[in-house]
Structure 1
Amino acid sequence: MRILHYGLGYPPERTGGLVQYVTDLMKEQVKQKHEIAYLFPGRINIFSSTTKIKKSKMRISGVTSFEIINSLPLGVFGGIKDPEKFQTKVNHSIYANLLDDFEPDVIHVHSLMGIHKEFFEVATHKKIKIIYTSHDYFGLSPNPTFYFNGKSWDEENDLNYWLNVSQGALCTRKLRLLQLPFYSNIRDTIKKFKKSSFQKERHYEKMVNEEFSENYKRSFETLIDYYQKIFELITFFHFNSNISKTVFENNLKNPMSSHKILAISNSSILGGTKHIDLDMTKVKKITYIGQYAEFKGFTDFIDLAKELRDKNIIFEIYGENIDVTLPSNVINKKRFSFQEKKKVFENMQLLIIPSRWKETFGFLGLEALDNNCPIFVNDNIGVSDLVPIDSIIKEHNLNNFIKFGLKSNKKVIFKLKIPTFVEHTRMVLRLYENKKLY
């Protein structure tokens, strides 16, 4: 099978679960004897605004790379300052030539960031299957997480939300800096100086439609319609959880095409049958891993530590190389390397994943379970599909959930079978071959 993937690029220029999934999936598909190509938003040409596609150097053996020069902006930081720049038209021939060159049997799209609507129009015209994996909510929302001003807006997704969430967005010129070749070299340095103290998302005063100009409102209305039309051209939706399926169902203006829920994975997952017993009476250490940020539930975790100061429990946090003010019973262990990951999991007694945004899946939870580490997760996190109901925190009520568990000597049994990544890849290939596609 000839498979064309569209994603955000390669590490180290791009990071995160989406990038890891795409690169791991392509490597495994090559091993399974498929012909693979990768299209991604690449460099910005400061001397010419013309969009073109250029064959890039091979970064993964057996994967042909195509780079979009002067792609649409990448709205990775949430919100859109210049809506007209995100719907720039290009000649259909740019993408027609690419598809004529590679001749894919299927296109697997992992994000709408950076890619033009014309790509989907050409693929549809050529009757090429388009599979979309729900890694985030960009396109349904200008903010990939739907999280703004302390809550998720997926159930209040109107024009006013798009206008308000974009108040703090970076201008397009600054977003373009992310696509400069040297950005990955200075990214960590920028973060180090930018996050010199506790990272707390800025909250904005809510504005009403009348406070925005008519032209600005119209530009957002056309942008909302732009993305909705792209979603209409998707042949098959691969949802990585029930959470992501529900959010998409509630925010697509027209009924979606064929779809299936299939949890994602990565090459670090060994898989197999897991039987994990958790006895709350034996828990003396509770762990958090992630950004030190409100939308990831970090503030809720710190509040829990404060609430349980009188208990003989140590709390530890991993995730960012910054110093933050913490209660005396919380240890900041900062970042750990990929090579250290297994040892970190082995030393955990209980991992809490308290994300406040409706996280589409979450590799962290899967990796913990794969390493036989028990987890408690909020009920708005996709990985909750894999765990027993006794380990699911309802309505962000972390404090009461843990305090009740300690008081009642709660015991939780995790029984599940995790596919190996080879098995997962075969499942994805079966999605491509779904007879309902065409």
Structure 2
Amino acid sequence: MNILHYSLGFPPFRRGGMTQYCLDLMLEQVKAGHQVSLLWPGRLYDLTQKSKVNEKQKYKLQNDLYCTSYELLNPLPIPLMDGIQDPATYLVKKEKTVYIEFFQKHTFQMLHIHTFMGLPSELIEAAHEVGVKTVFTTHDYFPICPRCNLFHAGKDCQDDKKCSDCVSCNQYGLSFNKMKFFQSELYKRVKESSVIKMLRARHNRKMYDATEQVIESEIIDAKKQKKYQNLRDRNIELLEKMDAVHFNSTNTLWVYKKRGYTGNNANVISISNGAIVDHKRIRKVGSSVRFGYLGPLTTHKGYNLFKNACDALWLSGEHNFEAHIFVEVSNPSSYMICHKPYSYKELPNVMNQFDVLVTPSEWEETFGFTVLEALSYGIPVIVSEKVGAKDLILEGKNGFVVASSVETLKFQIADLVRHPSIIDDMNAYIEKNFKVKTMKEHSYELNALYKKLLS
């Protein structure tokens, strides 16, 4: 099969879960004998219709396994998670004939899209016109949320009032000239410099503060609201035109449907990555029950929810537990044990530090790889109802799904502290019954979807 992926690019310039997922998937597809290429949005020049596709040097996936690399010149802008200041810049039309000729020249059969960032709608239209089947994987909420995470004013964005909240939430979005710089060859060369890292950290703090603190009525701009609504409507229309939309969880599908997507071409398939393997073993809880939290100190990932639940439990007089976090904090609570941030190669040691993983996200998390990682080590999990990976949970067998409230999480933690044998029983169940999905197996699932579309 001749498969073309569309994603943001290759390391070290592009990183993150989506980039790694795409690389892992392409590697498995190349191993299976498929012809695999990646098209990625490159240098941004202006907002004209002009666009071009350049073939670049092949990218080494592993040993002697390569994929073909194509740069999409003058794509649409790439905001990453910085938000969109002017929605009109993402609705610019491009010359469709360039993409039609590209598809015809290389005889692709599948176009697998991993992001709408930088993606001209004409690319999808061209694929359909020449008979190339299209699949979109929902790694985030960018098609329906310019900030990607549907988190507004310090809480989950349940009702954005027909995009009126997008105006205030995106007020610090990058200007066109900044995005032009961030998509330049110069930025590739200086991205890891100390000055750029400092400026990026400062900008990220500003963006996080804006997400946490923005006031509902702070900015009202009806004309701009309509522009955001037009952009979302266009994106949902593109989703509906896909031959298939691959959702990584039922939660993600539910969120998209709340924003207007019908779900007629939806396929829910849980995901994996190349580092996931079966590490399950029998474990035993010690004298104190150890709970682990692997996220950052942010509201949307649930740190405050976890800490407040543990605080309440501690103040109630229940002290037979520890909370292990993997970030340094000043003045940690008595029950808290802080570890240094870890790299992925240190994960086996990290997983030995706790008996139960807690993933208490307060935003609608599309999946949550830490849940699959913990289960692959035989560790039961407590997840909030907002975590997509709750699809992997069999209630009381390998974990628990709880409401995103302090009282509910406190109750579940307390129950395990008082009855640690439940944890041992869940570990035994996971070790015997939980099937760890590897990237190879996941690639087979997607290959079956491709074949279904091509038949």
Which residue does the alignment assign to 1:326?
332
TM-score (norm 1): 0.88
User: Contact between 1:235 and 1:257, CA under 8 Å: does it hold in 2?
Assistant: no
1:403: how far off?
2.3
1:40: how far off?
1.1
Which residue does the alignment assign to 1:12?
12
User: Contact between 2:240 and 2:265, CA under 8 Å: does it hold in 1?
Assistant: no
Question: Which letter does structure 2 place at the counterpart of 1:315?
Answer: A
1:88 has 2:96 as partner: no
CA separation of 1:240 and 1:157: change in aligned 2, threshold 3 A: farther
Structure 1 Cα separation of the partners of residues 128 and 394 of structure 2:
41
Question: Which letter does structure 1 place at the counterpart of 2:294?
Answer: I
- SS where residue 122 of structure 1 aligns? helix
User: Contact between 2:382 and 2:402, CA under 8 Å: does it hold in 1?
Assistant: no
- SS where residue 59 of structure 1 aligns? strand
Which residue does the alignment assign to 1:269?
276
Which residue does the alignment assign to 1:252?
260
Which residue does the alignment assign to 1:369?
375
User: Contact between 2:278 and 2:377, CA under 8 Å: does it hold in 1?
Assistant: no
1:28: how far off?
1.0
Gaps of 5+ in 1: none
User: Quick check: 23-32 or 407-416, which moved more?
Assistant: 407-416
Aligned residues between the structures: 429
1:285 has 2:271 as partner: no
CA separation of 1:220 and 1:421: change in aligned 2, threshold 3 A: closer
Structure 2 Cα separation of the partners of residues 88 and 428 of structure 1:
31
1:406 has 2:417 as partner: yes
Structure 1 Cα separation of the partners of residues 47 and 217 of structure 2:
38
TM-score (norm 2): 0.85
1:385 has 2:381 as partner: no
User: Quick check: 179-188 or 8-17, which moved more?
Assistant: 179-188
1:137 has 2:146 as partner: no
Gaps of 5+ in 2: none
Structure 1 Cα separation of the partners of residues 329 and 102 of structure 2:
48
1:418: how far off?
1.7
Q: 2:301 aligns with which of 284, 296, 300?
A: 296
Which residue does the alignment assign to 1:110?
114
User: Contact between 1:150 and 1:295, CA under 8 Å: does it hold in 2?
Assistant: yes
User: Quick check: 137-146 or 412-421, which moved more?
Assistant: 412-421
Structure 2 Cα separation of the partners of residues 394 and 53 of structure 1:
48
Structure 2 Cα separation of the partners of residues 172 and 399 of structure 1:
46
- Alpha-carbon deviations, 1:230-285, whole Å to 9, x = none? 112211011111111211222235x334332111111111248x576786x85432
User: Contact between 1:154 and 1:251, CA under 8 Å: does it hold in 2?
Assistant: no
1:396: how far off?
1.0
CA separation of 1:43 and 1:278: change in aligned 2, threshold 3 A: farther
Matches within 5 A, 1:56-67: 56-60=56-60, 61-67=65-71
Q: 1:207 aligns with which of 205, 217, 231?
A: 217
Matches within 5 A, 1:74-85: 74-85=78-89
Which residue does the alignment assign to 1:27?
27
1:99: how far off?
1.2
- SS where residue 229 of structure 1 aligns? helix
Question: Which letter does structure 1 place at the counterpart of 2:443?
Answer: T
User: Contact between 2:393 and 2:401, CA under 8 Å: does it hold in 1?
Assistant: no
Which residue does the alignment assign to 1:433?
451
1:418 has 2:423 as partner: no
1:305: how far off?
3.6
- Alpha-carbon deviations, 1:33-65, whole Å to 9, x = none? 000010112233489995322222222242111
Structure 1's consecutive aligned runs of 4 or more residues displaced over 4 angstroms after TM superposition are 45-50, 154-157, 187-197, 274-279, 322-325
Structure 2 Cα separation of the partners of residues 407 and 10 of structure 1:
48
Which residue does the alignment assign to 1:70?
74
CA-based RMSD of the aligned residues comes to: 2.9
- Alpha-carbon deviations, 1:129-178, whole Å to 9, x = none? 10111111111222211111132225556131332322343333334443
Structure 1 Cα separation of the partners of residues 130 and 163 of structure 2:
34
User: Contact between 1:109 and 1:130, CA under 8 Å: does it hold in 2?
Assistant: yes
1:430: how far off?
0.4
